[in-house]
Chain A
Amino acid sequence: MLPSSDPSQLSQALLETGSAPGSAKDTWAIETHGLSKHFGQRTAVDGLTTRVPSGTIAGFVGPNGAGKTTTLRLLLGLVRPNAGSATILGHLLTESARYLPRVGALIEAPAFYPSLSGRTNLEVLARLGGYPMSRVSELLEVVELADRARDRVGTYSLGMKQRLGVAMALLPDPDLLILDEPANGLDPLGIIGIRDLLRRLREQGKTILLSSHLLGELEQVTDWLIMLNQGRALWCGPARDLLAQHVELVVEAEEAAQLDLVVRIVSGVGYAVTQENQALRLACPASFAETLNRQAREAGASNLTIRVKEASLEQVFLALVKGDRS
C-alpha cells in the first residue's frame, strides 16, 4: 500500500486515486507537477507532485531539510523552479501576480521592522497591497494585539510576533493561507487560539496549507496531509486515509484455541500478527476487523473482542520517514 522504495511513484499513485473530500477534482487550490528546485548541487525539492483541495486545512509535514520551506517559497513566487509546474488557485506558478493577491503567507520566523510599531508594520503591507487601514485595526483585534499595537515590534515576545505574522498573512482576506510553523513560540492558549482561528477560516471556505512540526496539533485540525521527505512526497491525500491505513487490531479471547483460529485466519491473508498474553496484535487496515469477525464466527470463534487502535500521526510519520530512509 505504501511502497517506500519509490516515494514519487507512491505520491503519483495516491494522487490518481485520492479525491478532494466533498469537492470535485477541479477544485484543487494547489497542484504541483514534478516541481524541482536545486541550490547548486543540493536538491531541495525533487519532482514534487501534490495536490491540496480547496476549503481544507492541509498539513504539510516532513523532517528538517525535507524541502517544505522551499516548496512554500516556490508556491509564493519567491524562488524559481528548475523543473516542473504548479497551479495555485487556478493560475500557473509563473503568473504569481494573478494569484498572490488572494494568498496570505507566513514563512519561517515572521520578519518585521523592529523599530516600527506592530500597527505600522501592518500598515506598510496594507499600503503596498492596497488594503484599507480599517483591516489593520480589525486584524489586530483578531490576533489580540490591539492593546500593544503602538509598541515597537522589537519589544514583542516571540509569541506576539507570531500572532502579528498571522495578522500579516490575513491582511488580504486570502482564499489560500500558507502558514509555516504558525504556533512557534505560542503558549498553550495561543496554540488553541490559532487552532480555533484556522477552523473558523476553513468554515469560511478558505484553504490553509499548514506546515508544522507539532504533529499532534496537525492531527487535530487537518483534513488533508502532504508528507515530504528529501524533497519528495511520501504521502498526499486525506489525513484520515493515512491514519486508517496504519491501525492495529487488538483481538482478545478467553480460550487459547480461539486465538489460534484467529492466527490461522490472519496468516492466511498475510498480515503480521504478534501474541501478547491473552491478546493478539494485528497490523492491518481497520476494515479488516469486520472481515475477521465474520470469518472467526464462521469458524466457530464467536466470543472474540476486537478493538481498533488507530496510530497517531507521529507514529505514522516516523514509520513513513524511517521506511523511506531505509
Chain B
Amino acid sequence: MISVIRAFRSEVLKFRRWSVLAVAGVMVVVSTFLAYLTFHQLASGVTNPEMTDLIAAFHSPQGLVSIIGQARALIVAIVLILVSANLAAEWTQGTLRNLLVREPHRLRWLAGKMLAVVLFVLLSMLLTLVISGTLILLLARGQGIQTAAWTGPVGLRIGLSFVGNEVLCLIGFSALGMLIAVLTRSVVAAVGISLAYILVFEGIIGVVAPQVAHWFPGRVFNTIVGATVPIVGPTPTQGYLAALGAALLWIIGFVVVSAIVFPRQDVNA
C-alpha cells in the first residue's frame, strides 16, 4: 500500500505540466462556453425543433443539468485522450524505465498512477460542472428566470445522481484509456485508437448491429448517465441496472487485462 501511495504522490507532481493543466483548462472553458450557448438559446426563446426536449426540460428540475450536460461528449473525449496520452507518454518519452527502476512492482506503480490520473480528471469534471452550473444560475437569476425547480430537492437529487453516474462513466472511460495505452505504448497510437474507437468504431457497430452496440463499453458508460437525465445521454434500452452491471464488468475487464499484460511487457522505450 505504501508503494501505491508513493506512486500516487509522485504522479501528483506531474500535474504541474502545462500540457496537463491546459487540457483541464480546455475542458472547463469550452464546456462552460457550450453551457452558456445552450442557456442563451433557451433563454432567448429559441424554437429550433432539434431542441424540443431541452426547451421542455428548461423550467423543470432537470433544467440546469440538461444545460451543463450538453458538453458531456467533449468531457468524455478529453478524459479518454488525457488518460491514454498521459500513460502512453511514459513509454514514448522513455520515462517509464526510470519509474520502473524506482518502483519494480509494476502493478503498484500503475495503481498509484491511475488513482492520481482518475482523481485529476474527476476533479476537473467536477470543477467544470461547478463553474458552468454557477455561471448558468447567475445568468438565469440575472435575467429573472425562475430557478427554484433547479435548486429544489428534486433538482438537487437529479444533480447528485447525474454527478454520481458521470463519475462512474469517466472511471469507465479512464479504464478504457489505460488499456489502450498499455496495449499501444505510444501517445500517437493511443490517442488515435481511442478517438477512432469512440467516434468511428462504435458508431459503425451502432448502425450495423444496434442491438449489440448498446452493450459496447462507450455506449454503456454513456447510457448510465442518460438513465438519470435522458437529454444528456442515450436512454438505456436494456435498463439502468443492466447497463450499470455491464459498465462495471467492462471496467473490471479493462483493469484485469491491463494487470495481466503490463507486468509481462518488455520495456524497450
Give the contact-size bracket for chain A. 20 to 34
Is A111 a contact partner of B13 (Cβ separation < 8 A)?
no
Of B93, B264, B268, the contact of A73 (CB 8 Å cutoff): B268
Q: How far is the CA of A116 from the CA of B7 in the complex (A)?
A: 17
Residue A76, interface by CB 8 Å: yes
Kindly list chain A residues whose C-beta atoms are within 8 Å of the C-beta of B2. 130
Is A112 a contact partner of B95 (Cβ separation < 8 A)?
yes
Kindly report which residue of chain B lies nearest to residue A74, judged by CB atoms. Answer: B266
Is A113 a contact partner of B97 (Cβ separation < 8 A)?
no
Residues A102-130 near B (CB distance < 8 A): 103, 105, 107-109, 111-116, 120, 123-125, 127-130
B86 smallest CB distance to A (angstroms): 11
B103 smallest CB distance to A (angstroms): 5
Given A78-B97, A113-B14: A128 touches B7 (CB 8 Å cut-off): yes
B242 smallest CB distance to A (angstroms): 41
Q: Can you offer 22 A-B residue contacts whose CB atoms are under 8 A?
A: A78-B101, A78-B266, A79-B268, A103-B101, A108-B94, A111-B93, A112-B93, A113-B93, A115-B19, A116-B13, A116-B16, A120-B13, A124-B14, A125-B10, A125-B99, A127-B13, A128-B6, A128-B7, A128-B102, A129-B103, A130-B2, A172-B102
B15 smallest CB distance to A (angstroms): 10
Residues B238-268 near A (CB distance < 8 A): 264, 266-268
Kindly list chain B residues whose C-beta atoms are within 8 Å of the C-beta of A124. 10, 13-14
Residues A40-99 near B (CB distance < 8 A): 73, 76-80, 96-97
Interface SS, B side: helix
A166 smallest CB distance to B (angstroms): 13
Residue A168, interface by CB 8 Å: yes
Residue A320, interface by CB 8 Å: no
Is A109 a contact partner of B95 (Cβ separation < 8 A)?
no
Is B95 a contact partner of A113 (Cβ separation < 8 A)?
yes
Interface size on B, residues (CB 8 A): 28
Q: How far is the CA of A171 from the CA of B102 in the complex (A)?
A: 10
Of A73, A115, A130, the contact of B18 (CB 8 Å cutoff): A115
Q: How far is the CA of A115 from the CA of B21 in the complex (A)?
A: 11
Residue A100, interface by CB 8 Å: yes
Is B6 a contact partner of A127 (Cβ separation < 8 A)?
yes
Kindly report which residue of chain B lies nearest to residue A111, judged by CB atoms. Answer: B94
Q: How far is the CA of A77 from the CA of B263 in the complex (A)?
A: 11
Is B9 a contact partner of A127 (Cβ separation < 8 A)?
yes
Q: How far is the CA of A100 from the CA of B100 in the complex (A)?
A: 9
Is B101 a contact partner of A116 (Cβ separation < 8 A)?
no
Is A80 a contact partner of B266 (Cβ separation < 8 A)?
yes
Is A78 a contact partner of B100 (Cβ separation < 8 A)?
yes
Is B6 a contact partner of A130 (Cβ separation < 8 A)?
yes
Kindly list chain A residues whose C-beta atoms are within 8 Å of the C-beta of B18. 115
A87 smallest CB distance to B (angstroms): 16
Residue B44, interface by CB 8 Å: no
Q: How far is the CA of A116 from the CA of B13 in the complex (A)?
A: 9
Is A123 a contact partner of B104 (Cβ separation < 8 A)?
no
Is B14 a contact partner of A129 (Cβ separation < 8 A)?
no
Kindly list chain B residues whose C-beta atoms are within 8 Å of the C-beta of A128. 6-7, 10, 99, 102-103, 109
Is A129 a contact partner of B102 (Cβ separation < 8 A)?
yes
Sorted nearest first, the 7 A-B pairs with minimum C-beta distance are A111-B94, A128-B10, A79-B266, A78-B267, A127-B10, A129-B102, A97-B104
Is A111 a contact partner of B264 (Cβ separation < 8 A)?
no
Residue B105, interface by CB 8 Å: yes
Q: How far is the CA of A125 from the CA of B99 in the complex (A)?
A: 7
Kindly report which residue of chain B lies nearest to residue A120, judged by CB atoms. Answer: B13
Of A77, A96, A97, A109, the contact of B94 (CB 8 Å cutoff): A109
Kindly list chain A residues whose C-beta atoms are within 8 Å of the C-beta of B109. 128
Kindly list chain B residues whose C-beta atoms are within 8 Å of the C-beta of A105. 97, 101
